[in-house]
Structure 1
Amino acid sequence: MEKRYSDYTKEELRNEIAALTEKAQKAEQMGMVNEYAVHERKIIMAKSYILDPNTFEPGAVYALEGDLEHDFYIDYMNGIFAWGFRQTKNGQRVSGQEHEALPIAMIGDKL
């Protein structure tokens, strides 16, 4: 049975991230877009378990990694996931956007 990321030590997580990064690079070089995306998602999840969820505050707005057009408003935290919604840079909620959960490694600096 595979070990869950929540059971890994920080050192094991760092080793897993390094191994996944290598696999992702190989998949990208071979043009295997789907495999690359899977490894990238696993990397985000592993990185989330290294971060401290208590550093993210509900009611605050954060930058989003890789999304320069939107910020993320956190309503509440649940483990390594921040629940909230995307908003434009001027604070308008993206229309039709329901609450979504993002792993905290996808969230950048507090604004």
Structure 2
Amino acid sequence: MEKRFSEMTKEELEQALIKFKEGAMKKHQAGFFSEAAILEQKFYTAKSYLMNPEDFYPETAYTVIGYEQPFKITYLNGIMAWGVFKDQEEEVAFPISRLQAVE
């Protein structure tokens, strides 16, 4: 049975990142886009455990990797940032590793 990301050491998480990134590239090249997307999501979730959630601030706008519109954080729950996109009301969540500061 595999460990949870929250139970892994930094080295184990870094190995998992490599595995997920390589797996996603192979699945994408083979045309298995759904499976590639799942591995990419696992990559971002694992990567979030190497980051500090305290570096992300509610009521601040960020760019979400793979999306065009700014994303404003409402609140954080562990490694997940909950918030809304500009001009939308529905709240969604992303792993903090998918967020980048708006420049």
TM over 0.5: yes
2:39 aligned partner, one-letter code: H
- For 2:10, the equivalent position in structure 1 comes to 10
CA displacement at 1:3 relative to structure 2 = 0.6
The answer to whether 1:51 aligns with 2:43 is no
C-alpha distance in 1, partners of 2:102/2:13?
25
Unaligned runs of 5+ in 1: 88-92
- For 2:77, the equivalent position in structure 1 comes to 78
1:99 aligned partner, one-letter code: E
CA displacement at 1:110 relative to structure 2 = 4.4
The answer to whether 1:34 aligns with 2:71 is no
1:60, 1:110 within 8 Å by CA — same for their partners in 2? no
3-state DSSP of counterpart to 2:94:
strand
2:47 aligned partner, one-letter code: K
1:44, 1:105 within 8 Å by CA — same for their partners in 2? yes
The answer to whether 1:99 aligns with 2:72 is no
Unaligned runs of 5+ in 2: none
Give TM-score, length-normalised by structure 1. 0.85
Over aligned residue pairs, what C-alpha RMSD do you find? 1.3
C-alpha distance in 2, partners of 1:58/1:81?
12
Pairs aligned (count) = 103
Deviations 1:36-77 (A, max 9, x none): 111111101111111110000111111221222x11111111
3-state DSSP of counterpart to 1:50:
coil
- For 2:62, the equivalent position in structure 1 comes to 62
C-alpha distance in 1, partners of 2:37/2:65?
16
Deviations 1:4-32 (A, max 9, x none): 00111111111101011111121122111
Larger radius of gyration: 1
